[in-house]
Amino acid sequence: MSEPASALKGYPRSDGRKGIRNVVVVAYLVECAHHVSRRIVNHFDDLDVHLIGFPGCYPNDYASDMMRAVCTHPNVGAVLLVSLGCESMDRDSLLAVVADSGRPAELLVIQQTGGTAATIAAGIQKVGAMKTVLDKQQPVAMALEELVVGTICGGSDGTSGITANPAVGRCFDRLVAANVACMFEETGELIGCENIMAERAVTPELGELIQACVAKAENYYRIMGFGSFAPGNADGGLTTLEEKSMGAYSKSGASPISGLIKPGDVPPRGGLYLLDVVPDGEPRFGFPNISDNAEIVEMIASGCHVVLFTTGRGSVVGSAVSPVIKVCANPETYQRLSDDMDVNAGRILTGEATLDEVGDEIYAQVLAVASGARSVSENLGHQEFVLTYKSFEPIGPGCLPVRQA
């Protein structure tokens, strides 16, 4: 199917990327600054003023890298950093990175500003000034292939691998054919699918790296004593880890896998990428991701403008920075939670639509949201953001092969 000329608009950034949103981010740099930051954001009650942050007081390179990546994400137009004053996050370095990107950037240190009330008042003034600047900015033409789209599943049930997940896979195939960068993840939920994914890799070396990536996830989960199969999955009709893995895998579609990346790595070109979210080395910081939103943050750090979230049992979360499009797998769940869903993939189960038709509907939703339409979770004010401790080693050259077979 040939694609029509894109009519997307985006906000240009100094690194050459474009954003489909132009939000002001208020970022707390330790949990002690969370309340003050939230009060600043709540004052505006604005869909384009977002709260993000890192709760930890102790240093972590991964968390610092994630904050730099998210604060300079193309959907972010301006940043206010809120520090207590004695945490380990290098606030001056982070401020410099954001300012060097050409965005309005400000820092408030609570211990220096005069406490809670004084910092809230100062933050309200600074965010107001930032919004005035951003309101004057005009978007420019944006090509479809400049988009980065991610996908995740949460609250999966027995219908997820039959309806929503493979429908997202059909959407991904169409996006990849249009040279859009698409990423899928959850390597802990892809155990058993490593050989199938390796066969789809564009080079044999990449295939071996994918197999090793899943083996690492399996070892990590084994040591932790956890798996990706939750009680809620069983209650929803899933019977085995293999069934869940195959359902999660179906979100990737059928396109060749062009690369293997880690959180914060931005795909260099269009294609399908596997995002490895399981930390390297022995388990040090607990469960790889304590919630779906932790994985969404990692996809955003890797450049995702939009995230497709499939759910069978029902999940109502959205995200700060990048819009989330909710695809409901179960027709009964959709009846109960339709006000939280963008697409009813359960129509496949009832015979009202085919996989291709729902895939096309998801594709149309991506274009609409990328063109400025609000997703349901956006309109409801969902701005969840979860960032924890992790550790990763840099990817090697085999993860992003230049030559494609």
Give 153's strand partners: 310
Q: How does DSSP assign 190-227, residue by residue?
A: -TT-HHHHHHHBSSHHHHHHHHHHHHHHHHHHHHHT--
Q: 8-140, what's its fold?
A: Rossmann fold (3.40.50)
Q: Encode burial over 50-85: b for 16+ CB neighbours within 10 A, e otherwise.
A: bbbbbbbeeebebbbbbbbbbbbbbbbbbbbbbbbe
Look up residue 367 and give its amino acid. L
- What does DSSP say about strands 105-109 and 343-344: parallel, antiparallel, or unpaired? unpaired
Place of tokens 């066969």: 199
Helix, strand, coil proportions of the chain in percent (round to 5)? 40, 15, 40
Give kind and range of the element (H or E) at residue 9: strand 8-12
Residue 96, SS3?
helix
- Are 256 and 272 in contact, with CB atoms under 8 Å apart? yes
Place of tokens 């990590």: 220
- What is the predicted pLDDT for the residue at 287? 83
- What is the predicted pLDDT for the residue at 234? 47
DSSP E strands in 13-65: the ranges are 18-19, 23-28, 49-53
Among residues 174, 73, 74, 150, which one has the least CA distance to residue 309?
150
Which CA distances in Å does 53 have to 37, 39, 185, 301, 315?
9, 14, 22, 13, 22
The domain limits of the chain are 8-140, 147-399
- What is the predicted pLDDT for the residue at 225? 79
pLDDT, tens digit, 9 for 90 and up, residues 95-145: 999 999 999 999 999 999 999 999 999 999 999 999 999 999 999 999 999
pLDDT in tens, the chain (405 residues): 445 545 799 999 999 999 999 999 999 999 999 999 999 999 999 999 999 999 999 999 999 999 999 999 999 999 999 999 999 999 999 999 999 999 999 999 999 999 999 999 999 999 999 999 999 999 999 999 999 999 999 888 889 899 999 999 999 999 999 999 999 998 888 888 899 999 999 999 999 999 999 999 999 988 887 655 555 554 555 455 665 567 789 999 999 999 999 999 999 999 999 999 999 998 888 888 888 999 999 999 999 999 999 999 999 999 999 999 999 999 999 999 999 999 999 999 999 999 999 999 999 999 999 999 999 999 999 999 999 999 999 999 999 998 544
Edge to edge, the sheet with strand 8-12 lists 18-19, 8-12, 140-142
- Are 235 and 179 in contact, with CB atoms under 8 Å apart? no
- What is the predicted pLDDT for the residue at 405? 45
- Are 300 and 365 in contact, with CB atoms under 8 Å apart? no
- The answer to whether the predicted template modeling score (pTM) of the entire model surpasses 0.85 is yes
Place of tokens 């945490």: 87
